[in-house]
Amino acid sequence: MAGIDAPRILVVGGGPTGAATAVALRRELPGAHVTLVDKATFPRDKTCGDGLGPGARRVLDGLGLAERLEQFHMPMSVAISGPGGVEAVARGPIMEGRDLAGYVTPRLALDDLLLSAARDSGAEVHEGVAFEGMTPAGDGELVTLSGREAAFDLVVGADGAYSGVRRAMGVPRPPMRHTHIAMRAYGKVTHPDKPVSDTLRFDFLETLLPVYGWVFPLPDDGANLGVGIPVDHLKRQTARHGRSLRDLFDLYVEDLERRGFVVSGVERVATHQLPHAAARTPMTAPGRSAVLLGDAAATINPLSGEGIFYGMAAGVQLAEHLGALERAGGSWQGVDLAGALTGFERAHRRRFGRHYRECYLAQQLMRSPLWAGVATRAVAASDTAMAHVALMLFDEQSAGSRGLLHLARRSVRPLLRLPWAARTGR
Ligand SMILES: Cc1cc2nc3c(=O)[nH]c(=O)nc-3n(C[C@H](O)[C@H](O)[C@H](O)COP(=O)(O)OP(=O)(O)OC[C@H]3O[C@@H](n4cnc5c(N)ncnc54)[C@H](O)[C@@H]3O)c2cc1C
């Protein structure tokens, strides 16, 4: 039960970030009054690839929610194909001692389940209530929610890529060069020889780069499939070739079919932006009792487009910092709260900063047909490298400088062995 002086925390957004944050806050601060609002009524869809990797599984396990995931499809392997038809496969669930298993969880079901978990944890959940703005008031924030004002000690902005909380905090939106746009659809995908239903597939195809495509399997030969591209590249493709995102999606499907995949029943085509972690969007703002998490803070993995893990992990980190503030007898106002928020932001950058940077570097590499081919070949030749890349895509793996050197040596060696004519194409 929240007491009269209990801290009042508002979580804006009931996606995976907001819901997991509410659960973590209720666990770390049992005396706090946690309110979660979402403008949508659930179940609601969110345009997504629906892939959850081992990192996300670990967070949900830590929140006591792992059992609720058992209903979902669990692919065991990850495949990456690059230019020249090279394919690297990580066969899980365990490879090189690393757990690679993940889930494909349609967001219509996953988000509903996580919102129920937030409600079960004791958070007060209001669906169909929109955040409309906020101003600093005393030592907190005065917030307008669907036309009504209410005061909170802390506002958590987990309201996604187009965040209104971010705007109200005066934090600039991530630049377009660090924002991708993606189109996903549902359909049936099979292949006479490849185990589609067991594998999370990423394609970096020579003819489409820097577009990447994915096929994430669902039961009964179903799949979530789609393409992603940096927004500024899409603008260039449209200006130069008159190509829309839907055209690129159709080209990807044609390419899958050329490689023997059978794609049918494509439906529920939808588009959404992905703000990437390379943007280093601030999560806090001076003088504000507010913090941004998940897509609102642009924490999507620049290589894989995975964002659910990082949003939920940030929510748990935030709750731990606020729990420590409470246990130390700190105040929910002024410098104490500001210290806890900046401490959280620093801890998040310490844990994920190198991973985000390396994923960004790898994503830049995969935009070049030459380097995408070299890197895929090097990774295909080494189980250690492939397990590593799978965990860069779906977990918080980073190589460090020694690991990067090792990978670079592996990548360059086959190039040096090629005769000059093959390297230069002459
Ligand atoms: C095509 C595509 C494929 C992707 N594939 C994957 C993948 O396979 N795996 C993965 O991990 N990530 C993937 N991502 C990224 C992933 O979808 C996001 O990172 C994730 O949804 C972020 O969760 P969130 O809770 O921060 O935001 P969201 O899921 O966007 O939730 C935000 C919530 O805030 C609510 N909201 C917004 N404005 C207001 C307001 N004013 N008032 C009240 N409520 C509001 C919304 O209704 C929504 O429910 C993909 C993204 C795209 C676009």
CATH number for position 272: 3.30.9.10
Domain assignment present for residue 91? The answer is no
Separation of CA 379 and ligand 1 centre (Å) = 31
pLDDT attached to residue 123: 98
Q: In this structure, are 183 and 170 located in the same domain?
A: no
Q: In this structure, are 221 and 259 located in the same domain?
A: yes
Q: In this structure, are 328 and 394 located in the same domain?
A: no
| CA angle 100–115–3, rounded 5-degree value | 120
Atom 10 of ligand 1, residue of closest alpha carbon: 306
Q: Nearest to residue 54, comparing CAs of 400, 303, 387?
A: 387
Q: In this structure, are 330 and 368 located in the same domain?
A: no
pTM of structure: 0.94
Give the ranges where 63-161 is alpha helix by DSSP (H): 107-120
Question: How are the residues of the chain apportioned to helix, strand and coil, as percentages rounded to the nearest 5?
Answer: 45, 25, 30
Q: In this structure, are 339 and 216 located in the same domain?
A: no
* 101: exposed, middle or buried (Cβ count in 10 Å: 0-12, 13-18, 19+): middle
pLDDT attached to residue 367: 87
Atom 19 of ligand 1, residue of closest alpha carbon: 307
pLDDT attached to residue 426: 36
Structure tokens at 395: 């977990």
Beta partners for residue 142, in sequence order: 135, 151
Asked whether 300 and 43 are in contact (CB, 8 A), the reply is: no
Separation of CA 303 and ligand 1 centre (Å) = 17
pLDDT attached to residue 394: 85
Q: From first to last of the 426 residues of the chain, give the pLDDT tens digit.
A: 444 578 999 999 999 999 999 999 999 999 999 999 999 999 999 999 999 999 999 999 999 998 889 999 999 888 999 988 889 988 878 877 778 888 999 999 999 999 999 999 999 999 999 999 999 998 899 999 999 999 999 999 999 999 999 999 999 999 998 999 999 999 999 999 988 999 999 999 888 888 999 999 999 999 999 999 999 999 998 999 999 999 999 999 999 999 999 999 999 999 999 999 999 999 999 999 999 999 999 999 999 999 999 999 999 999 999 999 999 998 888 889 999 999 999 999 999 999 999 999 988 988 888 888 888 888 888 888 888 888 888 888 876 655 656 666 665 665 555 554 444 433
- Alpha-carbon distance 185 to 163, whole Å? 24
As for ligand 1, residues whose beta carbon falls within 6 Å of it are 12-18, 37-40, 46-51, 130-131, 158-160, 164, 182, 184, 226, 272, 274, 294-295, 300, 305-309, 311
Q: In this structure, are 14 and 160 located in the same domain?
A: yes
Beta partners for residue 95, in sequence order: 98
How distant, in Å, are the alpha carbons of 52, 57, 125 from that of 115? 17, 17, 8
Of the candidates 228, 259, 277, which is a domain's last residue?
277
Atom 5 of ligand 1, residue of closest alpha carbon: 49
3-class state of residue 416 by DSSP: helix
Separation of CA 204 and ligand 1 centre (Å) = 24
Question: Which residues form the domain of 420?
Answer: 359-424
Separation of CA 307 and ligand 1 centre (Å) = 8
Separation of CA 15 and ligand 1 centre (Å) = 6
Long-range contacts of the stretch 361-369 (C-beta < 8 A, 24+): 362/303, 362/389, 362/392, 363/302, 363/303, 366/82, 366/204, 366/209, 366/210, 366/212, 366/303, 367/209, 367/210, 368/209, 369/83, 369/206, 369/209
Q: In this structure, are 330 and 403 located in the same domain?
A: no
* CB contact set of 302 (below 8 Å; sequence gap of 6+): 178, 276, 277, 278, 356, 359, 360, 363
Q: In this structure, are 22 and 137 located in the same domain?
A: yes
- Alpha-carbon distance 359 to 348, whole Å? 16
| CA angle 81–409–360, rounded 5-degree value | 55
Domain assignment present for residue 410? The answer is yes
Select from 295, 310, 356, 393 the residue to mutate for testing ligand 1; criterion: most ligand atoms less than 8 Å from CB.
Answer: 295
Domain assignment present for residue 83? The answer is no
Domain assignment present for residue 94? The answer is no
The sheet carrying 222-230 orders its strands as 87-91, 77-81, 199-203, 212-217, 222-230, 179-190, 262-275
pLDDT attached to residue 93: 81
When divided into structural domains, the chain yields a total of: 3
pLDDT attached to residue 416: 55
3-class state of residue 70 by DSSP: coil
pLDDT attached to residue 415: 54
Asked whether 304 and 393 are in contact (CB, 8 A), the reply is: yes
3-class state of residue 237 by DSSP: helix
- Alpha-carbon distance 227 to 166, whole Å? 27
- Alpha-carbon distance 342 to 110, whole Å? 31
Of the candidates 224, 250, 277, which is a domain's last residue?
277
Of the candidates 260, 277, 294, which is a domain's last residue?
277
Select from 11, 23, 36, 39 the residue to mutate for testing ligand 1; criterion: most ligand atoms less than 8 Å from CB.
Answer: 39
Sheet strands (E) in 276-363:
290-292
Domain assignment present for residue 1? The answer is no
Q: In this structure, are 70 and 22 located in the same domain?
A: yes
pLDDT attached to residue 403: 61
Asked whether 205 and 245 are in contact (CB, 8 A), the reply is: no
Atom 26 of ligand 1, residue of closest alpha carbon: 294
Q: Nearest to residue 391, comparing CAs of 148, 3, 96?
A: 96
